[in-house]
Amino acid sequence: MVEFKNLIEIEHEYKEETKEQKPSEDYKENKSKKQQGAVEKNHKLNERTVFASVLILIVVPITILFGIFVLKDRKYYFISLLIVIYTMIPFFMVFEKRKPQARELIVISVLSAIAVAGRAAFFMLPQFKPVVAVVIISGVCFGAESGFLVGAVSGFVSNFFFGQGPWTPWQMFGFGIIGFLAGILFKKGRLKKNRIALCIYGGLATFFIYGVLLNTASVFMMYSKFSVDVFIACIISGIPFDAVHAISTVFFLFIISEPMIEKLDRIKIKYGLIEP
């Protein structure tokens, strides 16, 4: 009887102790606020990305227009190299507080090489290329700056096989801006790392962003002055090609996005690579 009474007392004391150890409502509320603040902070664009946005959305287009109107579209190698340099500045700003690791640069190089090899592998199918899909995956996994760098470098290097010309800076900008926006949309939480979201973004971005940019380039390459009528004609005539390009992007994203992102995330965690 005495032992049973002692057991009841011990159980009562244990319940009192665990009750005292339970977190209070204020503690839970503060923890929830901190977690919410961390998520909001993660969704905010940092200074490096804002600087890159100005450089990519303002300086790069001005440079392309400078090549058209001042250099008469004759110095496209020079303009292309300038765009590559612009894209490298925000990318290397990631390493302003630490030294870059070779493995980080290797991953970006390999992604660019995959995009170039993919474009060359499907040379027999006009517009049916995996370049945009690889660029989008790069932006989502490694950030907006890396996305633009992979896109610009892929466009420049692959044209050594397909032919350099006044269209090269436009293609570099087109590929790059899609990767850059993919990185920003993922950072802001608008773009998820799932197959459906990536396919929708890839199809729309390829058709409306890359298609419109290259159709605009066609106007400047064919005529000395910009004409609205010619621009509309280029847009309409380019719809079949842009549609094929958009469908190919959706196809490749549907096939390779999940396995590639899974592998890249695993590499990123294992080796502590670039965070978006």
Q: How far, in Å, CA of 146 to CA of 92, rounded?
A: 10
Tens of pLDDT, residue by residue over 224-262, are 677 888 899 999 999 999 999 999 999 999 999 999 999
pLDDT at 15: 54
Higher pLDDT, 202 or 6: 202
pLDDT at 34: 46
Higher pLDDT, 231 or 36: 231
**Torsional class of 46: left (φ above 0), alpha (ψ -120 to 50), beta (otherwise):** beta
Q: Range with the lowest mean pLDDT among 35-44, 79-88, 142-151?
A: 35-44
Give the single-character DSSP code of 99. P
Instruction: Provide mean pLDDT across the span 164-186.
Output: 93
Higher pLDDT, 275 or 17: 275
pLDDT above 50: residue 39: no
- On whether the CB atoms of residues 154 and 115 are closer than 8 A, the answer is yes
pLDDT above 80: residue 122: yes
Instruction: Provide mean pLDDT across the span 45-70.
Output: 87
pLDDT at 221: 84
* pLDDT above 90 as % of the chain: 45
pLDDT above 70: residue 43: no
What residue type is 121 in one-letter code? Answer: A
Rank 71-75, 180-184, 188-192 by mean pLDDT and report only the highest: 180-184
- On whether the CB atoms of residues 253 and 261 are closer than 8 A, the answer is no
Domain residues of the chain, as ranges?
49-271
Determine how many CB atoms are found less than 10 A away from the CB of residue 38: 10
Higher pLDDT, 146 or 37: 146
Give the single-character DSSP code of 45. P
pLDDT at 12: 55
pLDDT above 80: residue 68: yes
- On whether the CB atoms of residues 61 and 173 are closer than 8 A, the answer is yes
pLDDT above 60: residue 36: no
pLDDT at 27: 45
Q: How far, in Å, CA of 117 to CA of 100, rounded?
A: 26
pLDDT above 70: residue 13: no
Q: How far, in Å, CA of 171 to CA of 2, rounded?
A: 87
Instruction: Provide mean pLDDT across the span 136-153.
Output: 93
pLDDT at 35: 43
Model pTM? 0.81
pLDDT at 204: 96
**Top-tier CATH class for 49-271:** mainly alpha
Tens of pLDDT, residue by residue over 72-115, are 877 888 999 899 898 888 877 766 666 667 777 889 999 999 99
Which pair of tokens denotes residue 172? 């570099």
Determine how many CB atoms are found less than 10 A away from the CB of residue 189: 11
